[in-house]
Structure 1
Amino acid sequence: MLNARIKLRHLQAFLEVARQHSFARAAEHLAITQPGMSKTIRELEETLGTVLFERTPRGVALTQAGLTLLRHAGPAIRALEEGVSAVGEAHVGSVWLRVGALSTVESWLLPEAIRRWQCSAQGEAGINVVGGPSAFLLSRLRRGELDLVVGRMTEAREIRDLAFEHLYYQRLLLVVRDGHPLAGVVPLAAERLQEFPWVLPPPQTTLRQQVDSFCVRHAITLPARQLETLSLPLSQQFTAHSEAIWVAPEEAVREALAEGRLRELSLPLERQGGSVGLCLNATLQPSLALAAFCETLREVASGVPEGVH
């Protein structure tokens, strides 16, 4: 039985501090004073008889007890929010899903799945899509703030106790604009890649790990001229009008490659590629809408062009 001294405000405050890694930012977000926030967390810790946060040079971090509570409190609050939303949806006929999207599926899989799902869903079907690195999105999924995360993420350590379902494999490609000095060069010596700017994923992302492994295998060092971004439109525009080498998800450049606007370099970054799939919080019971959307994702993924699986 839940301790009667633990109120909803205690759990909301706990989740916000865990999210912000700061009492001050959490207090600002919840529109309460910082002393009020500190008092709320102290009350929760006294009730539980344990310390939930510890101070670090970068703010506050969860203790082991705090991590344990987070695994349960986040989904519990999310389930409560879903219940309240379901009551409202019964009156207005609306359905909303919160989806975390990695850049590897923003060009084709996710847009096509959303289109099909909205065409088949009963009533008004809305989807809120949140982008970002896998670590950020998976942490939000674990806290119950997202319904699912879609993308290439099998290398992500943050998956841990989440449920990942493989859909297909997707490679990272080294691509350049048509007319680039390295376009069509066969064989291509790896050291020549150091002569040009690179467009690549930011550090601490699973995609960047593949780039780093490639550089180690070929004993090369990336040049200082780098553009680090997960933005596909920015990457494509920059590559199209520069001498840059872009580390691109295959899905994002398939059309441009077919039309000859971009060219894949003859030196492959990776052979098979990483596993693209969907990740769910196993502690939450999926709604009918979420189950239907996941089935739509599987249906769309089954149509991935030959050679990508």
Structure 2
Amino acid sequence: MDNLKIKFRHLQTFVEVARQKSVVQASKVLNVSQPAVTKTIREMEEALGVTVFEREGRGLRLTRSGEVFLRHAGTTLASLKRGMDAVSTTRFGDTMPLRIGALPTVASNIMPLAMTLFLAENAGGQVKIVTGENAVLMEQLRLGDLDLVVGRLAAPEKMAGLSFEHLYSEQVVFAVRTGHPLLEAKQSLFETLGHFPILMPTRGSIIRPVVEQFLITHGITDLPVQIETVSDTFGRAFVQTSDAICIISHGVVAADIAHGLLATLPIDTAETKGPVGLTLKAEAGVPAPLDILMQTIRQAARDIAGAAGKRD
């Protein structure tokens, strides 16, 4: 049996002959000659190593092997048609907007490159990207207001009915302006953090418990001046113009660090590392435009991780 020799025309011809129970009628529907239909069926039988039709009066009927193969051939053709329709719809832009939820770290670090790659695919359609706290985005996903969330893995009890695909891991950092006094400090950094304003993730953010646990582990239970914010725009601007310290996911400030606008305090935060990836409804189908966008998000994550590895 040589399955590689079976082509689309074999399946199409086989299914039509089975439907019409006649080579003559199938040739009319397919708009090909009767000898061409007969030859195609013979080629397929040779590739399969079985006979799929037998004579019945003036027509044809399926053999037992033919009946088995018809189920699979029909499914294959139907699946192929759906795929072709999906891609055709994608190319012509006749689709609902893709609604993507992204954590600020992803929105600033991954999505710009992902969207550049997506637009290069000429997939058409519209994309709506919203940012917010992980819990809010997950709730919008459950309600059907979002098609995909790109962010941190939620707690197990929050993942019922959802699926997660890991892209990369990320940790928090203590970001400061270049020239910040603590960059040259000789004493323990943990003893002096409280002398400066601290920008903290809000209590509803997914990394807040991680940050609190990290601080407690290192003996920090009180920070006199705290500013809670999920606005990376405010946080980055405020830190660049003050002596404040921003505890934030690395991806949010990665570009500023690379451009020399910000720096990170020499604090080992490896224990705050957590998975970032794609979260979907577990049973939801993935339309072609969303599939293409997910591919470009994966590619962007790989490219950025590779570039970061080279810098390190």
Q: Which amino acid aligns with 1:129?
A: I
Deviation readout 1:110-162 (Å, 9 max, x if unpaired): 12111211221333x31111211111111111122211000223447422331
Q: What SS does the corresponding residue of 1:302 show, helix, strand or coil?
A: helix
CA distance in 1, matches of 2:103, 2:142: 16
**Equivalent residue number for residue 98 of structure 1:** 99
AA at the equivalent of 2:111? L
Aligned residue in 2 for 1:109:
110
**Cα distance between partner residues in 1 of 2:147 and 2:160:** 17
CA distance in 2, matches of 1:275, 1:308: 21
Structure 1 stretches of 5 or more lacking a match?
1-85
Structure 1 or 2: larger helix share?
2
What is residue 298 of structure 2 aligned with on the other side? 298
Amino acid corresponding to residue 101 of structure 2 in structure 1: G
Alignment of 1:107-256 (within 5 A): 107-123=108-124, 125-155=125-155, 157-186=157-186, 188-256=188-256
User: How far apart, in 1, do the equivalents of 2:100 and 2:153 lie?
Assistant: 15
Match of 2:4 in 1: none
Which digits, 9 at most, give the CA deviation of each residue in 1:220-253, with x for residues without a partner? 1342422211111111001011111101221222
Q: Tell me, yes or no, if the aligned pair for 1:201 and 1:229 is still in contact at 8 Å.
A: yes
Do 2:103 and 2:134's aligned partners in 1 also have CA atoms closer than 8 Å? Answer: yes
Report SS of the residue matched to 1:230: coil
Change (3 A) 1:156 1:216: farther
Aligned residue number for residue 259 of structure 1: 259
Q: CA deviation at 1:101?
A: 0.8
TM-score by length of 1: 0.65
Q: 1:308 to 1:105 in 2, by over 3 A?
A: farther
Aligned-residue Cα RMSD (Å) equals 2.5
Give the 3-state SS of the residue equivalent to 2:101 in structure 1. Answer: strand
Contact 1:185 1:265 in 2 (8 A): no
Evaluate the alpha carbon distance shift between residue 106 and residue 188 of structure 1 in structure 2; reply closer, same or farther with a 3 A threshold: farther
Whole-Å separation in 1 of the counterparts to 2:94 and 2:168: 31
* TM-score, structure 2 normalization: 0.65
State the distance in 2 between where 1:307 and 1:174 align. Answer: 22
Gap regions ≥5 residues in structure 2: 1-85
Is this contact kept in 2: 1:171–1:250, CA < 8 A?
yes
Distance, in Å, in 2 between the alignment partners of 1:160 and 1:146 is 16
Whichever residue aligns with residue 123 of structure 2, its letter is: Q
Decide whether the 8 Å contact of 2:176 with 2:240 is kept in 1: yes
Q: Relative to 1, partners in 2 of residues 1:132 and 1:157: Cα closer, same or farther, differing over 3 Å? A: farther
C-alpha displacement at 1:93, in angstroms? 2.8
Q: Name the CA shift for 1:154/1:184 in 2 (closer, same or farther; >3 Å).
A: farther
CA contact (8 A) 1:134 1:156 kept: no
- Distance across 2 between alignment mates of 1:185 and 1:159: 43
Task: Give the match's secondary structure for 1:168.
Answer: strand
Runs of 4+, deviation exceeding 4 Å? 89-92, 154-157
**Partner SS, residue 144 of structure 1:** coil
Taking the aligned partners of 1:156 and 1:197, their CA distance within structure 2 comes to 34
Contact 1:184 1:265 in 2 (8 A): no
Compare CA radii of gyration and give the structure with the larger one.
2
Count of residue pairs brought into register by the alignment = 221
Same amino acid, percent of matched pairs: 33
**Distance between the aligned counterparts of 1:183 and 1:189, measured in 2?**
9
Q: What residue identity is the alignment partner of 1:110? A: M
> Residue type matched to 2:208 in 1?
R
Superposition pairs of residues 270-281 of structure 1, within 5 angstroms: 270-271=270-271, 273-281=273-281
* Mapped contact 2:170–2:250 kept (Cα < 8 A): yes
Cα distance between partner residues in 2 of 1:206 and 1:93: 35
